[in-house]
Chain A
Amino acid sequence: MKVELRSIHKYFGPVHANNNISLTILPGTIQGIVGENGAGKSTLMKILSGFIQADEGEILLDDQVITIHSPSDALKRGIGMLHQDPLDFPPMKVIDNLLIGQEGGLFPNKRKVAADIKKLANQFGFSIDTEAYVEGLTVGERQQLEIIRLLWMGARILILDEPTTGISASQKEKLFETLTRLASEGMIVIFVSHKLEEIETLCHRAAVFRGGLLVGEAIQPYHTDDLVRLMFGKPMELGSRLGCHSEENVVEIHNLEIEDPRLHIRDVDLDVKAGEVIGLAGMEGSGQRLFLRALGGLLATTGRTKLLVKGHDLTHEPYSSYLKTGVAYVPADRMEEGLIPGLTLKEHFILTGDTKKLFIDQEESLHRTKVKISEFNIKGRPDSYVEELSGGNQQRALLALLNEPLSLVLLEHPSRGLDLESTIWLWEKLKERCKTGTAVIFISSDLEQILHYSDRILVFFGGKVSKPMLAAETNVDQLGQLIGGKGFVN
């Protein structure tokens, strides 16, 4: 099956989200679609998968002009899309997830469907338990389920939107293996990502998007610098590590102990110097998030834990004491825990501003908001609702909301969902903080980032914590071993 997009235009109000996009994809191809956030990749994929309709332009399947009315219509024609957050039904069983949308009689033949699915899953080496509940699966497993479902429903063109966010390294490997195999069987795989290295390892071809335009195409072998230049319109470089030279301890942790139904973290001792950056590595759920939350005053510690920030003993103190001492926490789930949907940017700045006054000083807050918006380069107006901002701009807003001065900033997955430019910008902002003596502790699943920006690294495995390692003296391989649980002493 061949796909051809001809002169696609799509407008959202004044925004020209897709500007004259033409792209032909041949059978057996893994086509990469790359570009920074808001470049128009998702819009084009939504058009191809029937979620929205193009304002102008044509879609051709095997040289036939077609109109796609809805996602289910697209799937009937063999176009299936795997969404970043798999569109399934978490509280329901896997088997019921598969049956919804499958055509057939009043009483579905569950046994046959389960057998068919198991057979199909086995071909790809996936293990799918049809009686399990979807909410008990990891994001990676839900992706596998959704891929199998789409194939089972007859998809011959598979669109994947940022599929590697939130899945483990081994699941990613498995995913790439599967996609390569599907392409070798003559299917089309369209892989949308803002991560260049993924495009480079996986895709036969890559189309680069910027500002609603398709600015260029590349084929293997790629030249990273060329792709970066296409993506951003200019060469980009990761900023370097700041390097910490202070001797002053900002944070002192003694005998830290955290109990959780699943994990038990104990006897962690760590001193963090002013301006130091510490990266926490490990598979999701290994204890790094508990550790970070405990440091932020969001989780109670137990045992003989002693936690000092700037000399203040904060052990068992309420969260407000942490705030007063200048500890800030930036969560990964920006809309759930960080920002308040339904409030504007200005209202957020009002909430974090001077709380002693009863009445709001509208002009002062508007002024402060404008200053922050330009200082943090947020694409939005003071009266924009936070849920309308893109992921990158939400992250900028979160950083802009942090008080000054701070002693310690704790970040969960600070660059999740951000493109390269935003990530670089984020670290420049954090480094400015470090220069004023703020310590930074962050979690990331991106080892390169941890190695690149941290001074020291802690690796978590099943609640065990490694000794702090100097980032300059370790490498991806050594970290990978530790993350997999090899080399822990106790």
Chain B
Amino acid sequence: MEFNLILVGLAGVIAAATPIVFATIGETITEKAGVTNLSVNGTIILSAMTGFAVATSTDNLWLGFLAGAFVGALVAAIVAFSSITLKQSQVAVGFVLTLMCRDLAYFLGNPFMGLSGPRVPPAFEIPLLSKIPILGTLFFNQDILVYLSFLLIIFANIYVYKTRPGLSLQGIGERPASAYIRGTNVNKMRYIYTILGGALVGVAGPMYSLSVKAGWKGTISGLDGIGWIVLAIVIFGGWNPLRGSLGAYLFAFLQWLGLVLQTSLPGIPSQVLQVAPFPLMILTLLLVNIGNAEWVDRTIMGLPENVRPAISRLLRSMKTNPPSSLGVPFENE
């Protein structure tokens, strides 16, 4: 295949990963605060439908995105209320919501099936930057959503790791009691981050229905399952917005690879190539997180002295831990 064609294909991968990036960062922020919002899969489908319906009815693209964010925030608010205020199981509530939202989307979305709605304006080149060889084609000839996702990745990382409120966000997920004695209103902040994270997940829906997979096609829209992959990416991404985003790109890349290989390897059944990204994704992520396993530690101890420090430093840098209080309600006595 020609080099330029590959580049264009990879640029397409970045565009296709954009909704996953938004949802991953949203869920990462929620979980960093110590709340698991398991409703991601249902939220994405429902907000895709709602976003499409609103954008089509009002003929206003951006109202569609707003509606998607609102749906995500609303579902997240239910999760927050039941887990933070009512102290109910986040897992149970999230599961029920994800199923309910999905079916609700298919039911309510019926009148909008197959309609043609507005679409996000096509890709445009950023002056100067798009002229950089390779990188220009990859990153700077994209649509507005992709550019926004770049900003989101940068902003989320700076916020979480460099700002004062971001440190507090990490604190309430790690050890709420410590955050509380330092003056943080733990439950209020958990509400805020759950709803904010939910809104970001909600934005991912219209990104599909108004851009990446434009239109609303009900059960065949191919959105079912994305949310679960997002939850996996958050975990393997080590609750780090940047790593999570890289996971999103990896997943989109594997899907693209499946499509490309289909044409060049006709011997392999197409189903294999369509399914392959999922196990491949899990394998890759397991490999990235290998530093978490205890037997690896033990193996390293047996390595020769001259290579050991380098390898153990590498593994240490890849090592991740969930926020210690993920899923644990907080009460100040």
Contacts and interface: CB of A to CB of B under 8 A. Distances in A.
A106 interface: yes
A17 B164 CA distance: 38
Interface string B142-185: 00000000000000000000111101101100110111111110
Contacts of A100: 164, 167-168, 170-171, 178-179, 182, 184
Interface in A87-101: 87-92, 96, 99-101
Nearest to A110: B162
A-B residue pairs, 8 tightest by C-beta: A101-B182, A72-B183, A71-B181, A87-B178, A100-B171, A89-B174, A261-B301, A100-B167
Interface in A225-284: 261
A88 B175 contact: yes
Interface of A: 46, 51-52, 70-73, 75, 81, 87-92, 96, 99-102, 104-108, 261
B183 A46 contact: no
B181 A89 contact: no
A377 to B, nearest CB: 28
Nearest to A73: B183
B2 interface: no
A375 B163 CA distance: 57
Contacts of B164: 99-100, 102, 104-108
Given A91-B321, A261-B298, A70 B183 contact: yes
A107 B166 CA distance: 10
Interface string B12-51: 0000000000000000000000000000000000000000
A75 B167 CA distance: 20
A91 B324 contact: yes
B178 A88 contact: yes
A70 B170 CA distance: 21
B175 A96 contact: no
A72 B165 CA distance: 16
A72 B178 CA distance: 11
A73 B185 CA distance: 12
A99 B181 contact: no
Given A100-B167, A106-B163, A92 B333 contact: no
B180 A71 contact: yes
B125 interface: no
Contacts of A96: 167, 170
Given A72-B183, A73-B183, A101-B168, 4 more contacts: A71-B183, A89-B175, A105-B164, A107-B163
A107 B162 contact: yes
Interface of B: 162-165, 167-168, 170-171, 174-175, 177-184, 297-298, 301, 321, 324, 332-333
18 contacts: A70-B332, A71-B183, A72-B182, A87-B181, A89-B171, A89-B175, A89-B178, A90-B174, A91-B174, A91-B321, A96-B170, A101-B182, A101-B183, A101-B184, A105-B164, A106-B164, A106-B165, A107-B162
Nearest to B177: A87
A45 to B, nearest CB: 13
A323 B324 CA distance: 34
Nearest to B185: A70
Interface of B is mostly: helix
Contacts of A72: 181-183
A282 B171 CA distance: 35
Most A Cβ at <10 Å: residue of B171, B181, B332: B181
Nearest to B159: A106
Most A Cβ at <10 Å: residue of B175, B178, B324: B178
A426 B301 CA distance: 41
Nearest to A49: B181
A92 B301 CA distance: 25
A263 to B, nearest CB: 12
A370 B75 CA distance: 48
A38 B184 CA distance: 29
B80 to A, nearest CB: 22
B193 to A, nearest CB: 15
Contacts of B179: 89, 100-101
A90 B297 CA distance: 20
Nearest to B175: A89
Nearest to B158: A107
A89 B32 CA distance: 13
A89 B325 CA distance: 11
A92 B180 contact: no
Contact of A87 (B162, B175, B298, B324): B175
Nearest to A105: B164
Contacts of A70: 180, 183, 332
Contacts of B321: 91
Contact of B333 (A46, A88, A91): A46
Most B Cβ at <10 Å: residue of A89, A105, A261: A89
A89 B171 CA distance: 7
B295 to A, nearest CB: 12
